[in-house]
Chains A and B, each alone.
Chain A
Amino acid sequence: MAPLVWLVVISTALALGTAGVLIWAAGSVQRERIHATIEWGRRLLVAQEEERAAIARELHDSVVPDLESLEMHVAGNTSTTGEATRIAQRVRSISRLLHPGVLDHLDLNAAVQQLVATDAVWPFTVDVDIQALPTFTRSQRVAAFRIIQEALANVRRHAGAEGVIVSAFHEGESVVVTIHDDGAGFVVPPAERLSSLGLRSMRERAEALGGTLLIESARPGGTTIRATFPTMAN
């Protein structure tokens, strides 16, 4: 009898074990799929940014000068004078919307100064405090710029703030970018339930480069968005 009991015990254990392994495996397949989807989304985001930059450069560095050359070739023909230049201006502003071209030449600080001081009139004061970030990669600069741009647009739309502080500095092995406003504040939904496309895209941009994004908001007290990027050793 005893061997039979053992056989039952062992086979039951094996069956349970197998089922467990199967369930665990199914779970892990599910998890892998989710991870793969998230990873895919992030790569798309990076690819989209690169593609936009390429289109913007093509417009800015090829089409615009083409039009300027045309202007030079037709110089003196009064009926068309200035026409090509006007088209060039329009193309240039499309290019600027697609990609912050300043970042191809200067650092994050300069691009944000440009955004804050000359590209738009903001109904609040902005204190820009961005340190030199020599280890920041080009894609990190672009992501940080997009997050700052989106955050400022949000403050303008919703917060009724008087003052905004934009800062970026090295903290240990990371670069921390914060946008703080003294506006109305809002109830921050849990990360997975973020419905605002702006907030979601900010988070995605940070995470696509291995970073994180924290949103803190209080009524009153305002909102602080804090993006942390790992500094790359390459």
Chain B
Amino acid sequence: MPVRHVLIADDHRLFADGLSRLLREGGYSVSIVNALHEVEAIVVDGKPDVVLLDLAFGHDSALPLLRTLRREHPQLPIIVVSAMEERVIIDSVLATGASYIAKSRASTDLRAALETVLAGGQVPRPHLNPLVGKFGARRIGTIQFTDQQIAVLAQLRDGDSNGEIAIALGRSIKSIEHHLAGIRQKIGLTTRGQLIRWAREHASELGDDPVHPPG
């Protein structure tokens, strides 16, 4: 099997060296780049088989570069090796199609991950704590609403008053007014009549069959 070439992009030299030693021992050929703005050129010139990319380069985030690399070199496997272990960060990385390994797991998990991506496989999604909050968002047309706003719109479509909506959703009237303000701001409509008409025009997209059919 030909020697595989790994490019390590990390501004932390000690970490990059440690990683490099680990990989050389495993029979890989390794090069290191410490500056974010040099990564893309080295990818083009050096044609690595795989890139290990850190996310934080001083003040700068490597996420925009990651998106560019994924777009320009879709065949090149990239594993993000990062000390950022926040769920939203991991989700953004995975959304680009790259793999993710926490720096804290690099010494134990990286070799296996490398073999997986070099064989054309996908690194398993890291174990993440389940989301506690509930804030799915849904698009109607071009406008994105929160779950609560959708629920309010569905009640509005059925002709409910704010008091009725509040009871139905187990929220205060004030909170319903707040949701309505948010909805108005997004749709760009001001009167309640306009909002109700809008909700009825988008009745099917609001889920659940209306209690009182429109019309």
Contacts and interface: CB of A to CB of B under 8 A. Distances in A.
Given A72-B106, A127-B146, A165 B22 contact: no
A113 interface: yes
Contacts of B83: 60-61, 64-65, 68, 88, 92
A61 B133 contact: no
Contact of B89 (A68, A106, A218): A106
A104 B59 contact: yes
B41 interface: no
Most buried by A among B56, B147, B170: B56
A173 interface: no
B174 A222 contact: yes
Contact of B132 (A61, A117, A220): A117
B85 interface: yes
Interface string A64-89: 11101101110100000000010011
Given A65-B103, A104-B61, A129-B149, 17 more contacts: A62-B12, A64-B103, A66-B14, A71-B104, A72-B15, A101-B84, A102-B86, A104-B56, A105-B61, A110-B88, A117-B131, A118-B86, A126-B133, A163-B175, A182-B174, A221-B173, A224-B178
A53 B173 CA distance: 40
A165 B175 contact: yes
B133 A117 contact: yes
Interface in B126-165: 129, 131-135, 146-149
Nearest to B64: A105
8 contacts: A57-B58, A66-B15, A68-B103, A68-B107, A102-B89, A106-B92, A110-B92, A165-B179
Interface residues of A, number: 51
Contacts of A125: 133-134
B191 interface: no
Interface of B: 10-12, 14-15, 17-19, 21-22, 55-56, 58-59, 61, 63, 83-89, 92, 103-104, 106-108, 129, 131-135, 146-149, 170-175, 178-179, 182, 185-186
A203 interface: no
A62 B57 CA distance: 10
A149 interface: no
A60 B106 CA distance: 16
A116 B63 contact: no
B12 A165 contact: no
A162 to B, nearest CB: 7
Given A110-B92, A113-B88, A69 B56 contact: no
A180 B181 CA distance: 12
Contact of B104 (A66, A89, A116, A222): A89
B166 to A, nearest CB: 9
Contact of B135 (A104, A126, A178): A126
Nearest to B110: A72
A19 B186 CA distance: 58
Given A64-B83, A65-B103, A163-B172, A121 B132 contact: yes
Contacts of B135: 113, 116-117, 126-128
A169 interface: yes
A204 to B, nearest CB: 25
A84 to B, nearest CB: 9
Contacts of A89: 104
A163 to B, nearest CB: 5
B139 to A, nearest CB: 13
Contacts of B133: 113, 116-117, 122, 125-126, 128
